[in-house]
């Protein structure tokens, strides 16, 4: 009888440790997210299920073109691509991204640019000064984010620059649906 009691205690202890480790990993390192909407097409599809690396920005800063998840409000997280970094001036003119006046290629938009009609704008022209906040350069501790589907995305053009404190983490992996399993942003 005592041996059976010890076995139960060992099982309960093992389960508690497993749940505790899972909680710590989920809380501090990785989290699942489901893409909601078309704003990151064609890179991410509506209902793609992804893993977000919550730890990466504790040890490094976001890089240009990272795909990040951030708190857009208390109830809603958004997933967008980092376009502008602290200290930079951002502008888009005739579907060309300019960082500090220099043209920057956006290879993830090549398919969209090739498949649009000649009269369609991929990204409406804007400068950083025209966005909410009226900044001359992106302030320290902030980034400018845009969706890949520029004609259908609520991003920094409407929200202004995003505080790094709002960023949950970097979208790292699509794990569902199975035919779309891949690393993203690489």
- The full set of domain ranges for the chain reads 2-183
Q: What is the reported pLDDT for 108?
A: 84
H/E run at residue 79: strand 77-84
Residue with tokens 């139960």: 8
- Which residues, 6 or more positions from 113, have their beta carbon under 8 angstroms from its beta carbon? 95, 122
pTM: 0.81
Q: What is the reported pLDDT for 2?
A: 61
Q: What is the reported pLDDT for 21?
A: 64
Q: What is the reported pLDDT for 42?
A: 86
Q: What is the reported pLDDT for 10?
A: 78
Q: Which CATH class is domain 2-183?
A: mainly beta
Residues in the chain where the model's pLDDT stays below 70: 1-5, 20-29, 116-121, 185-186
Give the integer Cα–Cα distance in Å for 139 and 85: 8
Give the integer Cα–Cα distance in Å for 125 and 91: 7
Q: What is the reported pLDDT for 7?
A: 79
Give the integer Cα–Cα distance in Å for 148 and 84: 14
Q: Which residues are catalytic?
A: 39, 80
Q: What is the reported pLDDT for 41?
A: 86
Q: What is the reported pLDDT for 29?
A: 67
Q: What is the reported pLDDT for 159?
A: 93
CB atoms under 10 Å from CB of 134, counted, come to 9
Give the integer Cα–Cα distance in Å for 46 and 38: 6
Q: What is the reported pLDDT for 33?
A: 87
Q: What is the reported pLDDT for 126?
A: 92
């Amino acid at each position: 009888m005592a041996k059976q009691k010890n076995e139960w205690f060992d099982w309960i202890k093992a389960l508690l440790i497993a749940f505790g480790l899972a909680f710590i990993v989920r809380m501090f390192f990785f989290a699942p997210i489901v893409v909601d909407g078309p704003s990151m097409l064609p890179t991410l599809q509506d209902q793609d299920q992804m893993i977000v690396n919550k730890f990466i920005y504790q040890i490094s800063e976001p890089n240009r073109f990272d795909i990040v998840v951030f708190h857009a409000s208390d109830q809603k997280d958004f997933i967008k691509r980092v376009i502008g970094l602290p200290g930079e001036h951002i502008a888009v003119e005739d579907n060309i991204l300019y960082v500090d006046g220099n043209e920057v290629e956006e290879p993830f938009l090549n398919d969209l640019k090739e498949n649009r009609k000649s009269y369609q704008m991929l990204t409406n022209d804007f400068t950083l000064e025209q966005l909410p906040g009226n900044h001359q350069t992106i302030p320290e501790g902030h980034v400018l984010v845009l969706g890949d589907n520029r004609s259908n995305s609520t991003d920094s053009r409407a929200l202004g620059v995003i505080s790094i404190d709002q960023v949950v983490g970097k979208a790292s992996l699509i794990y569902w649906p199975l035919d779309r399993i891949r690393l993203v942003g690489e």
